[in-house]
Amino acid sequence: MVANIVPKTEYQNTFLEDRPLMDVRAPVEFQKGAFPHATSLPLMMDDERAKVGTCYKQHGQQAAIELGHQLVSGKVKQQRIEAWAEYIQQNPDAYFYCFRGGLRSQVTLQWLNEASVDVPYIEGGYKAMRQFLIEMIEQASKRPMLILSGSTGCGKTEFLSHRTEAIDLEGLANHRGSSFGRNITHQPTQINFENALAVKLLKHQAKDFPFLLLEDESHLIGRSSIPRNFYLAMQQAPIIVLEDSHEQRLQRLLNEYVIDMHAGFVDHLGLESGTAAFEDYLLTSIDKIKKRLGGKSHANIVKLIINALNAQQNQNTMSEHLAWINVLLTQYYDPMYEYQLSKKANRILLKGSKKSLSEWIVKKR
């Protein structure tokens, strides 16, 4: 059997090309962390893998191999080969990998060859590719960075979406970074967040931009943690500050926190359940910052939120939500932002509108 092996020197191209990847690890391994454009098509399911692992520890490799062939045989084996073959037919340029590029890759390759299906497997497997991506983040920590700051609701994410030299960390984390920042869908695992970031950095590097444009973030974006050295580099980088009017910021947050989130919950769960989930989202989010707000301010905002929800239900209007958003901005977000920005004053290069910042960036390129 002549194996068509994808060498480690091809890892970069594999990610740059968004090549389809067939992951034959067990589902529990895939759920913990995988790569963009990877599809889980396991050689063994979780319970089968656990039994083989126990057998290996107790009786050695050969006994474990024999048990594996017993567990995945006959109809079960045929179903898995057919699933692989169908995937390869739909993605003829795909590669496949197991954890280390070892025994599971060899078995998968043998079975595919017996079925006359030709697909390369990746040298070193998931473990080596993961290490490659970790090193990519470390390398990116040494590249020039430019940090975009600005008060809550000023449109930083919108600004970044129009800049090709930008990487949207909040988009990768599936979280908007604030106490009201969670989205309807779940955040990625930490490993998947890091893998997605590394691939973005790899593609950014390939375009030879003079700097990385990133939003000013806390170490944690929701539950996603920015890798330590990358975050430390962000804390040393120069800053540009996006400014917008208070009225525009209020409207933007009304759209993000209220209109878009309510519509999303309703689309996802239906009208009744979605509305209940939306109300819970607002009240849970404000409770997260109760200590920082103080009891009196927190109680006032909760009261305003409940009034707005009642108006939304009885009068079909969203505008009442502007009252609590305004209090949240003036009593919490803005003072906190001004304090944090004052500690970074020596790093600020420019403050201005979306237009002026865009023009300045173009000149720097």
- In CATH, what number is assigned to the domain containing residue 126? 3.40.250.10
Same domain for 67 and 173, yes or no, is no
Q: Is pLDDT of 1 > 60?
A: no
Q: What is the pLDDT of residue 66?
A: 85
Using H for helix, E for strand and C for coil, what is the string for 274-310? HHHHHHHHHHHHHHHCHHHHCHHHHHHHHHHHHHHHH
Residue 55 falls in the annotated catalytic set: no
Q: Is residue 137 part of a domain?
A: no
Indicate the burial class of 236 (C-beta count within 10 angstroms; 0-12, 13-18, 19 or more): exposed
How many domains, the chain? 2
Which of 132, 152, 176 is the last residue in one of the domains?
132
Which of 132, 164, 183 is the last residue in one of the domains?
132
For the residues 118-144, what does the mean pLDDT come to? Answer: 95
For the residues 316-336, what does the mean pLDDT come to? Answer: 94
Same domain for 13 and 64, yes or no, is yes
Range of the domain at 185: 144-364
Name the pTM for this structure.
Answer: 0.92
Q: Is residue 154 part of a domain?
A: yes
Q: Is residue 254 part of a domain?
A: yes
Residue tagged active-site, from 98, 129, 136, 147: 98
Which of 106, 132, 158 is the last residue in one of the domains?
132
Q: Is pLDDT of 78 > 90?
A: yes
Instruction: Give the tokens for residue 84.
Output: 């692989």
Same domain for 126 and 151, yes or no, is no
Q: Both ends of the chain: CA-CA distance in Å?
A: 52
Same domain for 197 and 128, yes or no, is no
Q: Is residue 139 part of a domain?
A: no
Rounded distance between C-alpha atoms, residue 73 and residue 165, angstroms: 51
Instruction: Give the tokens for residue 263.
Output: 């519509």
Same domain for 47 and 77, yes or no, is yes
Q: pLDDT by residue (tens digit) across 239-296?
A: 999 999 999 999 999 999 999 999 999 999 999 999 999 999 999 999 999 999 999 9
Q: pLDDT by residue (tens digit) across 33-57?
A: 999 999 999 999 999 889 988 888 8
Q: Is residue 277 part of a domain?
A: yes
Same domain for 152 and 172, yes or no, is yes
Same domain for 183 and 157, yes or no, is yes
Q: Is residue 138 part of a domain?
A: no
Same domain for 70 and 179, yes or no, is no
Q: Is residue 161 part of a domain?
A: yes
Same domain for 210 and 328, yes or no, is yes
Q: Is pLDDT of 297 > 70?
A: yes
Rounded distance between C-alpha atoms, residue 259 and residue 97, angstroms: 43
Q: What is the pLDDT of residue 53?
A: 86
For the residues 310-327, what does the mean pLDDT come to? Answer: 93
CA dihedral of 197, 202, 204, 210, whole degrees rounded to 10: 110
Q: What is the pLDDT of residue 72?
A: 85
Pick from 226, 214, 212: which is nearest to 148 by CA? Answer: 214
Q: Is pLDDT of 2 > 70?
A: no
Confidence of residue 104 (pLDDT cuts 50, 70, 90): confident
Q: Is residue 61 part of a domain?
A: yes
Q: What is the DSSP letter of 165?
A: T
Same domain for 167 and 241, yes or no, is yes
